[in-house]
């Protein structure tokens, strides 16, 4: 049956444009209408208008190009109704018309220090107005794409609801609810003026040391594919052959999760054919193409060395990006998958690739900026994402930049075209793909006035997903669920009151942050933010004694009574994103390095887990736990992490080991703002584990390692728990 279904799918693939995989006449005529419209626009464009479609700057790059300034732009966003002329100048938005730019983005951060929903909606509205007003452009350009990374709902916005990160969605196995939450994410993004979300990450994660593991759904290809499809369909909301939600992006193509040692932006050592590489890394792209994803983002990584960086096309003989776009890639089952949307680079991905390429070719003169962009565009990248903070050596942010303004990038691409490094045929293909996607978009944005209603829906769905994302790893003697009426004393151990830790990276700011500073007052209410500590107190009320034990506090009386006391502890990773979350491995210390550590980045090196993919109790916490356990008090431990962590180092007898010193252990991954409520409901039995989607919720999407040797697929010495594990109560 599989082959038969796939053969039908393969036929559908060749007819998919981007507006529905239907063979019905209506859509195919819509397809041809779109192609004709795009061709008409293209033929009326000037050369600079065509080139402007290939370049997408970040807002901060625009704002750092004189006479604009980030400070002035930020101040404008803080003052009521500044004039459009002022914004055009201060935020550099006039450059959108000046260079005929067809897209802008906000990257991971830092932001313009103005992350409210009104500020984002205002900034995107000004950009769109500038796109419509400056220089007579865009009679032809159908849409200004405004991109963002809503990795767990619209995480840029202060006060927004933030759902579980992707690894938690994997644990839910709930396709319907994932589709629903991404429809809400699309509406939230559109309300704030974003019509493009660079999600989902559909990496096949092969090493838990990778700092982006939590952006992956699962190591199970079937689960990965079904969630990728649900996520993309939820975001794009294709109706009547049009994308009425936001443009989605499957990323990062290809092999981002397969690098040696899990090194972010590293190298996939791969001996085998392109079909075999596709099977090991491309499963999600089969589902993404089937779901009509409109864009795909290219991976920073390389395949077999720095002469084969993906942003320069990967392995030369494979020409894998162009093959995927023009002929389709045939997998080891003989099925062909072709992508007809447009390829976007990652953030300064071309100039990063150039650094490693130059290092690998020391006898050649360093590539010039026109040569760099020509290599990427000829490798099949249709749009260049360029942001502030570029540096000629990506491992040394203090090295000189390749460019400081978007004008320099425009000039380089113009020169590459003028000197024939980029052909007219290639320019035509890239611009046509972008125009066809834009023409297939008809985003229906909800007005700001409906935002609070939308957030109420988001809170409900995010909470249910958070509950279904929890994994009960251990529950000795049916410790859980607890009976509230029997509890007179609660000892909170560890960081039990920190929303930043509960959300992880990509939360307000790129790296996220510890603390709950972004979730206070009205923002706490609108986001449904609840820490575990607040959740427990809300459930038990004021007639209970609450004590705290952590590295800086210990007010717990000794010898508390076992019958009326419970200890609730948290062990957690510090928030991180991308390479800042990579973990070394004592087994390969000589090859371990990290973009963050190589930068001498204090934040990274101070992380307790920077060498060990594990979590342990702090000695202060451990001695309190030993006292409690000697009195027979039950210990419940919750793990907040972006991935399975070694928590049972030397299982028996290690007083620092969360696993061996707890009666019950819940893996919560990064459950989002409603996580505290979800875990409280699970602890008191108001939510029963595996009571979610068809009984598969609350089960592990990745293996859980026993120790560091188990961390990678290379050392399968017997995990602590396999994929699919999860206790029910
Ligand atoms: C980052 C990430 C990518 C993200 C992009 C824009 O470096 O690699 O996933 O979408 O830049 O923020």
Phi, psi of 297 (to 5 degrees): -105, 140
Structural tokens at position 607: 């992380």
Of 266, 106, 198, 152, the C-alpha closest to 594 is 266
Q: Quick one: pLDDT band at residue 705, thresholds 50, 70, 90?
A: confident
199 CA closest ligand 1 atom index: 10
- Token couple for 590: 């000589």
Strands (E), 551-674: 553-554, 565-572, 634-640, 664-669
pLDDT at 246: 98
pLDDT of residue 712: 60
Closest CA to 502 of 162, 158, 108, 170: 162
**pLDDT score of 602 more than 60:** no
The model's pTM is 0.93
Q: What is the pLDDT of residue 650?
A: 53
pLDDT at 10: 39
Judged against a pLDDT cut of 70, whether residue 276 lies above it is answered with yes
* Cβ neighbours, 10 Å, residue 326: 13
> Is the CB of 108 inside a 6 Å radius of any atom of ligand 1?
yes
Check pocket membership of 251 for ligand 1, CB cut-off 6 A. Answer: yes
Cβ of 49 less than 6 Å from ligand 1: no
Of the listed ranges 379-388, 424-433, 577-586, 607-616, the one predicted with least confidence: 607-616
What is the distance between the alpha carbons of residues 341 and 18, in angstroms, rounded to a whole number? 7
Please tell me the residue having the least CA distance from ligand 1 atom 3. 346
By DSSP bridging, strand 247-253 and strand 295-298 are parallel
> Is there a contact between 463 and 596 (Cβ–Cβ < 8 Å)?
no
Neighbouring CB atoms inside 10 A of 142's CB total 18
What local confidence, expressed as pLDDT, does residue 586 receive? 44
Mean pLDDT of 100-109: 90
- Torsion of the alpha carbons at 260, 262, 265 and 266, rounded to the nearest 10: -10
**Cis, bond preceding 238 (omega within 30 deg of 0):** no
CA quadruple 121, 124, 127, 133: dihedral sign: negative
Nearest CA to ligand 1 atom 6: 107
The pLDDT value given to residue 590: 37
- pLDDT value of residue 132: 80
Out of 59, 105, 107, 210, give the residue to mutate to test ligand 1, the one with the largest number of ligand atoms within 8 Å of its CB. Answer: 107
Q: How confident is the model at residue 649 (pLDDT cuts 50, 70, 90)?
A: low
Residue 647 has pLDDT above 60, yes or no: yes
pLDDT of residue 720: 87
116, two tokens: 């409210």
Output the six-digit token pair for 103. 């897209």
User: Ligand 1 pocket test: which of 251, 347, 384, 576 has the largest number of ligand atoms within 8 Å of its C-beta?
Assistant: 347
As a whole number of angstroms, the distance between CA 393 and CA 401 comes to: 8
346 lines ligand 1 (CB under 6 A): yes
pLDDT tens-place string over residues 515-531? 999 999 999 999 999 99
Determine contact, residues 153/162, Cβ cutoff 8 Å. yes
Tens of pLDDT, residue by residue over 335-370, are 999 999 999 999 999 999 999 999 999 999 999 999
Q: Which atom of ligand 1 is nearest to the CA of 215?
A: 9
Give distance in angstroms: CA of 15 to centre of ligand 1. 30
What is the residue with the minimal CA distance to atom 12 of ligand 1? 107
How many other C-beta atoms are found inside a 10 Å radius of the C-beta of residue 396? Answer: 13
- CB under 8 Å to 358, separation ≥6 — which residues? 364, 366, 367
Task: Compute the distance from residue 485 Cα to the ligand 1 centre, in Å.
Answer: 48
Q: Whole-number mean pLDDT of the chain?
A: 89
- Helical spans, DSSP H, in 272-404: 274-281, 283-290, 320-326, 349-360, 369-378
Distance in Å, CA 178 to ligand 1 centroid: 22
Q: Residue 137 — very low, low, confident or very high, per pLDDT cuts 50/70/90?
A: low
pLDDT at 6 over 50: no
* Reported confidence tier of residue 729, pLDDT bands at 50, 70, 90: confident
CA nearest ligand 1 atom 11, residue: 347
Q: Output the residue whose Cα is nearest ligand 1's atom 8.
A: 346
The secondary structure of 387-427 as a DSSP string is: -TT--SSTT-TTSPPS-SSHHHHHHHHHHHHHTTSS-HHHH
Q: Ligand 1, atom 5: nearest CA belongs to which residue? A: 347
Q: Cα 426 to chain center, whole Å?
A: 30
Q: 331 or 77: whose pLDDT is higher?
A: 331
- Give me the pLDDT at residue 597, please: 42
């Amino acid at each position: 049956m599989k082959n038969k279904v796939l053969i039908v799918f393969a036929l559908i693939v060749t007819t998919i444009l981007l507006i529905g995989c239907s063979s019905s006449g209506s859509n195919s005529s819509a397809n041809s209408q779109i192609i004709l419209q795009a061709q008409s626009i293209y033929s009326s464009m000037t050369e600079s208008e065509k080139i402007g479609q290939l370049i997408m700057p970040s807002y901060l790059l625009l704002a750092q190009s004189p006479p604009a300034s980030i400070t002035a732009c930020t101040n404008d966003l803080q003052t009521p109704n500044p004039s459009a002329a002022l914004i055009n100048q201060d935020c550099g938005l006039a450059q959108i018309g000046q260079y005929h730019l067809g897209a802008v983005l906000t990257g991971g951060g830092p932001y313009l220090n103005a992350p409210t929903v009104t500020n984002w909606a205002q900034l995107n509205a000004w950009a769109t107005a500038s796109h419509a007003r400056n220089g007579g452009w865009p009679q032809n350009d159908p849409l200004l794409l405004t991109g963002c990374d809503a990795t767990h709902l619209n995480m840029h916005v202060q006060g927004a609801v933030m759902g579980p990160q992707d690894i938690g969605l994997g644990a839910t196995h709930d396709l319907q609810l994932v589709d629903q939450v991404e429809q809400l994410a699309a509406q939230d993004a559109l309300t704030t003026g974003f019509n493009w979300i660079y999600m989902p990450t559909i990496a096949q994660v092969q090493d838990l040391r990778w700092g982006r593991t939590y952006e992956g759904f699962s190591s199970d290809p079937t689960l990965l594919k079904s969630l990728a499809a649900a996520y993309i369909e939820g975001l794009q909301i294709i109706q009547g052959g049009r994308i009425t939600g936001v443009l989605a992006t499957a990323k990062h193509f290809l092999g981002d999760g397969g690098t040696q040692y899990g090194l972010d932006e590293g190298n996939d050592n791969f001996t085998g054919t392109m079909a075999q590489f596709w099977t090991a890394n491309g499963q999600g792209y089969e589902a993404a193409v089937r779901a009509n994803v409109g864009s795909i983002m290219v991976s920073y990584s390389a395949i077999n060395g720095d002469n084969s960086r993906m942003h320069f096309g990967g392995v030369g003989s494979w020409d894998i990006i162009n093959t995927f776009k023009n002929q389709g890639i045939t997998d080891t089952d003989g099925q062909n998958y072709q992508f007809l949307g447009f390829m976007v680079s990652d953030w300064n991905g071309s100039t990063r690739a150039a650094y490693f390429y130059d290092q690998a070719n020391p006898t050649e003169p360093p590539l010039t900026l026109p040569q760099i962009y020509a290599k990427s565009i000829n490798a099949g990248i249709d749009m260049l994402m360029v942001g502030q903070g570029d540096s000629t050596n990506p491992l040394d942010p203090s090295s000189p930049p390749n460019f400081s303004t978007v004008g320099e990038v425009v000039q380089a691409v113009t020169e590459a075209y003028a000197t024939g490094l980029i052909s007219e045929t290639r320019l035509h293909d890239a611009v046509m793909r972008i125009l066809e996607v834009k023409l297939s978009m008809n985003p229906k944005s909800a007005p700001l006035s409906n935002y609070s209603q939308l957030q109420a829906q988001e809170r409900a769905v995010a909470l249910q997903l958070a509950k279904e994302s929890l994994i009960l790893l251990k529950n000795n003697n049916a410790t859980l669920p607890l009976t509230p009426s029997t509890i007179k004393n609660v000892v909170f151990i560890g960081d039990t009151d920190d929303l930043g830790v509960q959300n992880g990276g990509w939360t307000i700011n790129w790296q996220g942050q510890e603390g709950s500073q972004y979730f206070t007052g009205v923002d706490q209410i609108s986001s449904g933010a609840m820490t575990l500590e607040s959740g427990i107190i809300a459930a038990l009320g004021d007639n209970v004694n609450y004590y705290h034990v952590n590295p800086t506090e210990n007010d717990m009386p000794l010898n508390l009574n076992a019958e009326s006391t419970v200890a609730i502890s948290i062990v957690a990773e510090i928030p991180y994103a991308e390479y800042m979350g990579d973990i070394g491995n004592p087994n390969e210390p000589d090859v371990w390095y990290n973009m963050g550590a190589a930068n001498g980045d204090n934040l990274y090196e101070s992380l307790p887990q920077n060498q060990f993919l594990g979590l342990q109790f702090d000695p202060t916490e451990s001695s309190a736990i030993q006292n409690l356990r000697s009195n027979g008090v039950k210990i419940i431990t919750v793990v907040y992490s972006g991935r399975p962590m070694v928590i049972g180092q030397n299982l028996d007898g290690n007083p620092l080991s969360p696993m061996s010193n707890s009666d019950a252990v819940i893996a919560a991954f990064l459950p989002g703002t409603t996580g505290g409520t979800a875990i409280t409901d699970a602890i008191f039995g108001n939510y029963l584990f595996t009571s979610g989607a068809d009984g598969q919720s609350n089960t592990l999407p990745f293996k859980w390692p026993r120790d560091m040797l188990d961390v990678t697929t290379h050392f399968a010495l017997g995990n602590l728990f396999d994929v699919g594990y999860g206790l029910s109560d």
